[in-house]
A and B are shown apart, each in its own frame.
Chain A
Amino acid sequence: MANEKVDVVIVGAGASGSVFAAVLTRAGKKVVLLETGPDWQMSDLISSDIWARRVKTAGAPFLLEGKNPFGYSYQSGWGVGGAALHYFANFPRLLPNDFKIKSEHNRAHDWPISYEDVAPFYDKVAQDIGVSGDAKAEEIWRPAGRPYPMPPMKTFRHGDVWLKGFEAVGIRMVLAAVGMNSTEFKGRPACIYDGWCHVGCPIGALANPNVTYLTEARNAGADVRPWSTATRVLTNQPGTRITGVEYYDQKKERQVQEASVVVLAAWAAQNPRILLNSATDKHPKGLANSNGLVGKYMMAHFNSGTWAMFDEDLQNHMGTTGAQYMSYDRYSKTSHKGAFGSSFITAGSALKTSDLGGFANARLDLFGPDLQLFMKRGARGLTRFGTFGEAMPNIENRVELASDKDEVGMPLGRIIHSYDQDAIAVWNANFEEGLKIAKATGAKEVWSARGNMPTIHLMGGTIMGTGTENSVVNSYGQTHEVPNLYIAGPGIFATAGASNPTYTIFALSLRGAEQLASKWSTVAG
């Protein structure tokens, strides 16, 4: 079935898609958002780790291969709001050194833009959706910018106890920047510190898309279509222009939505899957893929967690799932001898009992009566801090199409991912330093959260660069090969950095959307 042509179709109603929708509706464009899952309401966000699994990934699975298969379900989304419906809302930025790794170290590649190009958009996003933190304090690591619109969040004992340890090893901690309300902001209430951020914040104190950019877009007339799964981006006969998107609705009936511009904002792994499935005789390797780089350079963060058990009651159930404190003191690419890549430290996350982040998993080796005893102790005295690490982009880490197909006949995606020796060295170095920090706190027991090397925050697959010789899109997310096709989200990151990515996703999307709006007639034709 064909639908009336619109100005823009955005595939994916998460963090990046919501920004494009808000900016383009503000510019007077007729916008349709296609979202594969349900239209979640705030009343769906029940405070329970068990019930929260409803808002995480469902639908066609990705097949996972490689030495470090990418475990995506915990951190990817399904439904309106996407992964940002249930994210931790830590809002660190990338730093200037992230954009120039090739120039400064002859490793990986440079971004086609600098920190200074993105910084104004970090500041704009903060004002748009609300960020709490101490921007001035961050200036020990980054150029000055605007203050955040809200003061930092409260801290709690389970975060404060780490400060002595960090001081002992010379690591400076500052109050964390988070996408949460420390005070009322634009009619949204202040946080009440109940520690359920990661299952979705139904009061809107946490800046998820459904209470920020998406609300703005909907109020301006954006047509959000849940249960609509995009399968192909369609082109004209010569293959020079995008004409629309093929998708399947809730009844599994094929639909075509024509548009002047298409924005793929469906997640770092799903965007390549759609592009590769959009192959035609003019684009035999897939859309925007004449150089074979679609799906390549998939990247992930890893985390070195350190646990500590105290005798005192730390009230570790309180606070936010995001961090109380953060530090870039190990953000230099060469912070650790014999390793290469940045590290970013966070401390002070509220603990709940179950699911991947629950404290039952703090000692995975325990079961039976031993676990029972540990749970009782952990309920009072357990706390954790974590250090994210950066892995360099590797062309062998990729998304490709599998032979298996989903229920509408689209090939499943396969994610192949392995860490290199540098990443493993950074991971190990952060564990070693973590134990030193923990021991200096005076905790009764300390241990590393070692297990399989984790994969967090999938990025890459449609990376940005200076041209088709090195990338899929330019710095705005516009594909090099088809001018009216944009990609948005972490897939366009050229390198991963070590910072939680969502603030950068918002900032890059705002930059791309504003460029698209300003160049509309040139792009849309």
Chain B
Amino acid sequence: MEQIERRAFMKGAAIGVLTFTVGGVEVLLTPSAARAQGVPLRTLTAAQAATLDALGETLVPGARQAGISHFVDQQISIPAEEALLEARILNVRPPYANFYRAALGAVERASQALNNGQGFAQLGEAEQRGFVDNMRQNKIEGWQGPAGPFVYLLLRSDAVDVVYGTMDGYAALGIPYMPHIAPSRRW
């Protein structure tokens, strides 16, 4: 079974997509396609995904549509040694799901405490930007969870990944991708 899973993973890597489960069947999709098709989340709750979508969009416009929640959800649902998250590079201790739960929980608690019970996803754009700017500078009083500046750094990296780290992202910026081995799909 382990070998089968590994082959499936490697196949996904070779064509530049991730493995999502749809109707009990594993399919290979980009995160944006998974979002567009409404693929069920495996680890994040709907509320956590809504917070992550809103945070991602605030950090890097386009992150929501690029599928940041499906990207993170898929990545925290596989073994840590197979994960492609920046959390791995920033020395977050596996399992990575623990960090995301703690980080999103901290954002939600702080937002509700500061905004009369409103969660981050319910805030207006200006309020969301203000919240993120304070989180970046560790200026949110009563913050409980992973350090705000680190949450900013890591979630910003995830959002950059899905918006600008892809072949589509390079194309949008007008940068020739010039791969040795290209993902055969545009992810």
Chain A positions within 8 Å of B, measured between CB atoms, are: 37, 43-51, 53-54, 56-59, 61, 64, 69, 71-74, 78, 192, 194-196, 201-203, 317-318, 353-356, 358, 360, 364-365, 367-369, 371-372, 375-376, 379-380
Contact = CB atoms under 8 A, between A and B. Distances in A.
Contact of B181 (A46, A367, A372): A46
Interface residues of B, number: 47
Query: Taking each of A44, A50, A201, A202, which has the highest tally of chain B beta carbons within 10 Å of its own beta carbon?
Result: A50
A59 to B, nearest CB: 7
B58 interface: yes
Contacts of B84: 50-51, 53-54
A208 to B, nearest CB: 13
B165 A50 contact: yes
Given A46-B182, A194-B179, A376-B173, 8 more contacts: A48-B16, A54-B84, A195-B178, A202-B181, A317-B176, A353-B175, A367-B129, A367-B136
Given A51-B13, A54-B82, A56-B88, A354 B61 contact: no
Contact of A368 (B13, B58, B173, B182): B58
Given A50-B161, A375-B173, A196 B179 contact: yes
B60 to A, nearest CB: 6
Contacts of B170: 353
A51 to B, nearest CB: 6
B20 interface: no
Contact of B165 (A78, A202, A355, A380): A355
6 smallest A-B Cβ distances: which pairs?
A47-B179, A58-B81, A354-B165, A194-B178, A353-B164, A379-B173
A47 B91 contact: no
A355 B80 CA distance: 18
A201 B58 CA distance: 35
A354 B173 contact: no
B7 interface: no
Nearest to A366: B156
17 contacts: A46-B183, A47-B179, A48-B165, A51-B84, A56-B88, A72-B91, A73-B89, A203-B180, A353-B175, A354-B164, A354-B165, A364-B153, A365-B136, A367-B58, A368-B59, A375-B164, A379-B175
B89 A74 contact: yes
Query: Taking each of A44, A71, A73, A380, which has the highest tally of chain B beta carbons within 10 Å of its own beta carbon?
Result: A73
Nearest to B167: A48
Contacts of B169: 353
Contact of B180 (A45, A54, A69): A45
A11 B178 CA distance: 36
B1 interface: no
Contacts of A354: 157, 160-161, 164-165
Interface in B62-102: 80-86, 88-91, 93-94
B174 interface: yes
Nearest to A360: B160
Contacts of B29: none
B175 A317 contact: yes
B94 to A, nearest CB: 7
Contacts of B164: 353-354, 358, 360, 375
B34 interface: no
A53 B165 CA distance: 13
